[in-house]
Amino acid sequence: MGRKLLIHNDKVPGIHTLEVYRAHGGYASVEKALKTMQPDQVTDEVKKSGLRGRGGAGFPTGMKWSFLAKPEGVPRYLVCNADESEPGTFKDRYLMEKIPHALIEGMITSSFALGAKQSYIYIRGEYFYVARILEAAIAEAYAAGWLGKNILGTDFSHDCYVQVGGGAYICGEETALLESLEGKRGNPRIKPPFPAVAGLWGCPTVVNNVETIAAVVPIVNMGGEEYAKIGIGKSTGTKLISASGHINKPGVYEIELGITVEEFIYSEEYCGGIRNGKKLKAVVAGGSSVPILPTELILKTAKGEPRLMTYESLSDGGFQAGTMLGSGGFIAMDEDTSIVKNLFTFSRFYHHESCGQCSPCREGTGWMEKILKKFLDGTANESDVDLLWDIQSKIEGKTICPLGEAAAWPVAAAIRHFKHEFIEIAQKKKFVDISHYDRLNKIRA
Amino acid sequence: MKVTIDGIEIDVPKGTTILQAARMIGQEVAPPTMCYYSSLKTSGGYCRTCIVKVTQGSAANPNPMPKPVASCRTEVMDGMVVENVTNKDVLEARKGVVEFLLVNHPLDCPVCDQAGECSLQDLGYGHGAATTRYEFPRREFERIDIGKYVQLHMNRCIMCFRCVKVAEQLTDNRVHGVMHRGDAAEISTYIENVIENDFSGNVIDVCPVGALTDKTFRFKSRVWFTKPVDASCDCKKCSGKVRLWMKGEEVLRVTARKDQWGEAEEFICNTCRFDRKKTSDWKIEGPTKVDRHSVISQNHYNHLNELKVQILKQQKALGFMDINKRP
């Protein structure tokens, strides 16, 4: 059994209440930080822990915190990014739904480290009921004195607010999130300046993922060095993985970074193998935007080493033969899956979620979706594969925010590893089964 | 600060953007722009036509920037090295951007009032491909009259945000903006409204395409059949420095004076633009100098000498033999 630090108590009855959470050692990190540590010491512990952002990019959290500008007389903010919208990712929802106080405790401890008097949890519109859970937990925390003025009798005062978004994927991009939080249209800002210098209302701001903030709690409790002992190399600690697709046991799993992908898919502790005794065909390892990998490349790297669930191992081989850990949205597909159909679903999503600010993404995502629709309808030509490749290459890296890449990478990877499927459809040797969509349309009509 | 663009070094003050530095060097290395407008704050960065490659970030940090950057929103650093027209990838990427911009553009130039002075035409001609690979229906909108003088034709819009910034920065009350998202995004007024204020006409001048047109000029004439003349008047609301577009003695339309980058030198008020349409309203300063590459210059014979010098200079640069000094 791997160690669990974040969701080890998720099955305890009533863990969402402050009373039970406290009885299981909750809020110890706040006590420890506020009473025995200086803010910089907390930041140092996070640096020592080697914690990396759990939202997808994997940027070292300690470093991000130390970039925060600290001018005199200007407020600083901590913003928690709970706009978890990446298809295949649902780990933050699980954490917030089951143990809301873990996030709030992390918010208080992190805010103490950053010197933020106010913090915001920006949660996606579709998680409205989770926002209710968080608000109830915050009310409990205020009543017990964990939030508000002079927490634990110290000088530190802190207020935490929940803001519900309108349900836009783009608002998970940190600058679009800040725009939305300010009450504007959720369009990503042009960087620089980065939020660490000019973020919310022009003030220095740190934006962290839910899981990142929750991970600060065990780091402060056990010490950064101890936390860094879990994992391999620069991938330290534990990570929540939301496993979905054609596996026997879909769900949210906390893993120690460093277990093999094979173990994660086939062991009874985690996914429990591919359902109905089928063979694995491909895996999207970190949410819909990371490149898809066929079985032979996801289980073993191009060099023949076993692939591990770490930031480095998954990206081994670059995009030619690797992928990314991303947000931990692990989607496994069995041998019956049509990669083209799956790609169409992804592309439709990115088309729908593009904000429309910069031209390559606004026009390109829709174009790609329309071409992929041709494959589904059976009207595509072989030249459409090259056209798709060309369009994605002209979107990637040319946009303001990473949504362009997120839309381009799945297309590129699908063509890179499964070009034969596209060609077979274009040559009318095979057709995609779209009866599923027909059924859906009937339900909608 | 020293910055090198396409191998040409220039010294610029701190805070200059790559685009501004390139414009200081000249037209040859200046990237094309569709959404940037120097007199509008926070404009630029959206259309991506001005992307360039930074091969050296600065003298202190000589690493190249990983992705192409929007030159209009990136400030120069001391010792920065930028490649624009000398970099094949940049030109290829720009070609892609032009294609994207044209994906949902109706290409109805023959019936569009903007033809002849359209930034998208120039861009497509200079940087785009000859044919499109897009085979699907383009998006379509109804034409909307926003106020007495301006018509909005969303089909042609390329979402440059300039008209939104004009309303935000020039007038008291912005009633139009961007609605919806992705390729369904459109410029519109929220719950049909009219844009009515003294400076609303400037949205026509800043629009790089024919999405916002002057209703008092619609279908009166192709722009290249009119003659631009600089004129002025004593106006209480604006500087009164305008450009008249004349056909014979008739003033067909009035616009702001635009510089070589197609940007208005000074914004003008609606009274000047829409109500003063007689030559007696204006003090004529003289004919406008039009770049000889512009289609509008075909109606111009005023500065032939200057033109001759220009052509000779170019021929010399290209290594042509001077016809007068033949052995």
Question: What count of Cα atoms within 13 Å lies in the side-chain half-sphere of residue B283?
Answer: 6
Encoding tokens for residue B77? 């650093």
Query: What is the pLDDT at residue B286?
Result: 85
pLDDT averaged over chain B? 88
> Rounded CA gap, B245 and B227, in Å?
5
Minimal Cα–Cα distance from A407 to chain B, Å? 13
Q: Is residue B307 part of a domain?
A: no
Asked whether residue B322 carries a pLDDT value surpassing 70, the answer given is no
pLDDT at B299: 64
pTM of the entire predicted model? 0.91
Residue with tokens 């926070």: B42
B-proximal residues of A, 379-398, CB under 8 Å: 387, 390, 393-395, 397-398
B242 and B200 in a single domain? The answer is no
> Higher confidence at residue B190 or residue A241?
A241
**For the segment A300-354, what is each residue's pLDDT rounded down to a tens digit?**
988 888 999 999 998 888 888 889 999 999 999 999 999 999 999 999 999 999 9
Determine, for residues A387 and B133 on separate chains, whether the beta-carbon distance falls below 8 Å: yes
Last residue of a domain, one of B180, B214, B248: B214
Average pLDDT over residues B72-88: 91
Nearest Cα residue in chain A from B133: A387
- What residues form DSSP beta bridges with B3? B10, B80
Give the Cα separation of A113 and A111 in Å (integer): 5
Q: Is A407 on the interface with B (CB under 8 A)?
A: no
Q: A356, B97: Cβ pair inside 8 Å?
A: no
Work out how many CB contacts closer than 8 A connect A with B.
89
CA A260 vs. chain centroid, Å, equals: 20
Q: Is the pLDDT of residue B321 over 80?
A: no
For residue B286, the surrounding DSSP H or E stretch is: strand B283-287
A367 contacts B103? CB cut-off 8 A: yes
Give chain A positions within 8 Å (CB) of B182. Answer: 351-356, 362, 365-366
pLDDT for residue A1 = 66
d(CA B186, CA B180): 7
Same-domain check for residues B206 and B230: no
Report pLDDT for B148.
86
Report which of A96, A124, A92, A100 is spatially closest to residue A241, judged by C-alpha positions: A92
| pLDDT tens figures, B266-306 | 999 999 999 998 888 899 888 888 877 788 877 665 566 66
Q: Could you tell me if A133 and A97 are in contact, meaning their C-beta atoms sit under 8 angstroms apart?
A: yes
* Positive/negative CA dihedral, A419, A406, B81, A320: negative
Closest chain A C-alpha to B75 CA, distance in angstroms: 9
Q: Quick one: B202 and B266 in the same domain?
A: no
Q: With an 8 Å Cβ cutoff, are B159 and A357 in contact?
A: yes
Does pLDDT of B5 surpass 80? yes
CATH classification number, A18-229, choose in 3.40.50.300, 3.40.50.11540, 2.60.40.1840, 1.10.1020.10: 3.40.50.11540
3-state helix, strand, coil in chain B (%, to 5): 30, 20, 50
How far does A297 lie from chain B, in Å, by closest CA?
A: 27
Predicted local distance difference test score (pLDDT) of residue B192: 73
**Minimal Cα–Cα distance from A381 to chain B, Å?**
13
* Pair B122, B206 in one domain: yes
Q: Please name the helix (run of DSSP H) or strand (run of DSSP E) that holds residue B282, with its range, or none.
A: none
Chain B positions with Cβ closer than 8 Å to A: 45-48, 51, 66-68, 70, 73, 93, 96-97, 99-101, 103-104, 133-134, 136, 158-159, 177-178, 180-185
Tell me which CATH code domain A239-334 carries: 3.10.20.600
Is A365's Cβ below 8 Å from some Cβ in B?
A: yes
Partners of residue B134 in chain A, C-beta under 8 Å? 367
Q: Where are chain A's structural domains?
A: 18-229, 239-334, 339-444
Task: Say how many C-beta atoms besides its own lie within 10 A of residue A135's C-beta.
Answer: 16
Provide the pLDDT for residue B170.
87
Distance from the Cα of B96 to chain A's closest Cα (Å) equals: 6
Whole-angstrom distance, CA of residue B239 vs CA of residue B231: 11
Q: Which residues make beta-bridge pairs with A374? A: none
Residues 6+ positions from A272 with CB-CB distance below 8 Å: A247, A248, A249, A266
User: Does any domain span residue B100?
Assistant: no
Cα–Cα distance, A306 to B289 (Å, whole number):
70
Provide the CA B59 distance to its chain's centre, in angstroms.
33
Interface with B, mutate which of A362, A385, A390 (most B CBs under 10 A): A362
| Residues B287 and B241 reside in one and the same domain | yes
**Smallest CA–CA distance from B184 into chain A, residue:** A356
What six digits make up the tokens of A352?
Answer: 């729908």
Could you tell me if B184 and B234 lie in one domain? no
**Residue A36 DSSP label:** H
- Name the DSSP letter for residue B271: I
**Mean pLDDT to the nearest integer, B214-222:** 91
B151/B116 same-domain check: yes
Fold of A339-444: de novo design (two linked rop proteins) (1.20.1440)
Looking at the structure, tell me whether residues B187 and B119 fall in a common domain.
yes
User: Containing domain of residue B48, as a range?
Assistant: 2-93
Query: Would you state the pLDDT for residue A427?
Result: 92
Distance separating alpha carbons of residues A385 and A402, to the nearest angstrom: 23
> Residue B100 is nearest to which of A360, A370, A400, comparing CB atoms?
A360
Question: B168: which chain A residues are within 8 Å (Cβ-Cβ)?
Answer: none
Query: Which residues in chain A touch residue B103, judged by CB atoms under 8 angstroms apart?
Result: 363-364, 366-367
In chain A, residues with a C-beta closer than 8 Å to the C-beta of B68 are 397-398
Q: Which of B66, B73, B159 sits opposite A362 (nearest CB)?
A: B159
Residue B98 covered by a domain:
no
- Residue B325 pLDDT more than 80? no
pLDDT score for A93: 93
Last residue of a domain, one of B180, B197, B214: B214
| Residue B175: predicted pLDDT | 86
**Interchain CB distance below 8 Å, A394 and B181:** no
What CATH code is carried by the domain that includes residue B122? 3.30.70.20
- Residue at B65 is within a domain: yes
ipTM score here? Answer: 0.89
Helix axes B88-103, A383-395, angle to 10 degrees: 110
Please indicate, yes or no, whether residues B260 and B239 belong to a single structural domain of this protein: yes
Look at residues B44, B67, B93 and tell me which one is the last residue of a structural domain.
Answer: B93
B182, A362: Cβ pair inside 8 Å? yes
A129/A115 Cα distance (integer angstroms): 30
Which residues of chain A fall short of a pLDDT of 50? none
Predicted pLDDT at A49:
92
Mean pLDDT of B41-69: 91
Count how many domains chain B has: 3
Regarding whether B158 and B246 lie in a shared domain, the answer is no
Sign, Cα dihedral of A424, A425, A428, A434: positive
The pLDDT of residue B189: 84
CB of A185 within 8 Å of a chain B CB? The answer is: yes
- Whether residue A408 lies within 8 A of chain B, CB to CB, comes out as no
Residue B64 is encoded by which pair of tokens?
A: 């190249």
Average pLDDT over residues B127-145: 89
